[in-house]
Amino acid sequence: MRKNAEIMLLPLIILLGITVSAISCQSRQWFKGNCGDGICQRWEQRRNSCPEDCKNDEKAPISLKNVIEIKTLTENGGHLAWNKKNNLIAFDRLGSDGYFDLWIMDAQGKNQVCLTCNQPQLPNRHTGQPDWHPSGKLLIIQAQKNLGTRKYDSKCVPGAGLLNDLWVITADGKKAWKLHSVRSDLSKDSAGVLHPHFSHDGLKLLWSERLRGNGRPFGEWILRIADFTFDERQGPSLGKIRDYNPGGRSSFFESHGFSPDDKYILFTGNQDGPLEIYEMELETGAVKRLTNNSKGIWDEHAHYSPDGTKIVWMSSRGLRCEVKPFYLQTEFWIMDRDGSNKQRLTYFHNSGHPHYLGRKWAVAADFDWNKDGSQIVGLVITNSPDSKKRGSGINVLINLPGQSSGPDSGALRPR
């Protein structure tokens, strides 16, 4: 029986593996239409096919005057969330047993403590993708079901979400409750969850959930919101779940969180083709597309600034996004709330720049803001998706423009 289940799962493994990049990254023959977008693509630079985009690119001297400061907090980090009450950062970390666990550290990257290592109430497989409740006393996390063999664990990491349930855990790690469970079947239609986020008043929970494969890259997902309550004696519970399917067609959706007034949410979706950033008004369901790029650009992981005027997200604009073999490079970008005034924040891939990492893999991924909006702490994935360390990387602290100081501002400094 187990063998049959594993065979049934194979198409899903392929679907959620390298081939998922086809949803945004395309063969280079599609890129020729990008000339004139003001972004010097690497293939344009090599072929000298678009001088108007590349004439002032990386050959320009680097000035440190307006370069933001970046500090490495931990070399072995993952998806994270910043507690606005006590300034602690929760993050997932890949352990020596091959599974992610939930850890916390202070804003300097010190005093690191594991909350879920051998936690008796959890399945003790992949655990992570945290978000703090506004009270600072609870975290929402994803936890992989104790189901199947280790052969498929790489598809159940916190960043993939296959066969993950939603759990709540106390800030000290002593108590944990299963909050929402998905189907347990091992098949091409296996379910999962991604990116749970509390509203700012703590009364609602947003997440995305995989419904089925449906022959689509990433599968078919939906956005879900439910009322959240917590009782000191009985623990947490969810009210009626409300489903959202922007565009009304089978698509991939990834939830990114609520606006400061909790009236809007940000999400990534591919209902229009490539992965793009969208904002949705909850009362009306009205959706606004905030990025509008070619099929060769990957946009994801968007979050509102604390005052709601800015949005930071990750994008592969101007970098490599290729299908065969799969290769992705991304940076952090910032834009105004309405999608205007897009500016690049980091330069992890630019040789000679103070941000340059010099690593084969460097994918700017998820992040969170500090309380006053002067800093973000982010994940830069430094391991390929087909490796045993899929989804892990370095956690970096980024001082946003106007907040940096000192003669070495902009340098990527060790802990």
pLDDT at site 217:
77
Radius of gyration of the chain (CA): 20
pTM (2 d.p.):
0.85
pLDDT at site 17:
36
pLDDT at site 65:
45
Count, in order, helices (H) and strands (E) of the chain: 3, 27
pLDDT at site 324:
75
In 69-226, alpha helices (H): none
pLDDT at site 296:
81
pLDDT profile of the chain (415 residues), mean per 10: 37 34 49 51 58 48 59 96 97 96 97 97 97 98 90 88 97 98 92 98 98 88 98 96 96 97 97 94 97 86 97 95 86 96 95 92 96 96 85 94 45 46
pLDDT at site 39:
53
Nearest-5° angle of CA 311, CA 315, CA 316? 165
pLDDT at site 236:
98
Torsional sign, CA 55, 61, 66, 67: positive
Q: What Cα–Cα distance (Å) separates residue 330 from each residue in 298, 316, 318, 351, 370?
A: 8, 4, 9, 15, 22
In 21-107, alpha helices (H): 42-47, 51-54
Distance in angstroms (rounded) separating the CA atoms of residues 334 and 38: 16
pLDDT at site 12:
32
In sequence order, what are the beta bridge partners of 364? 380
Q: Are strands 70-77 and 412-413 parallel, antiparallel or unpaired?
A: parallel
The domains of the chain, with CATH numbers, are 2-413 (2.120.10.30)
Report DSSP state, residue 180. Answer: E
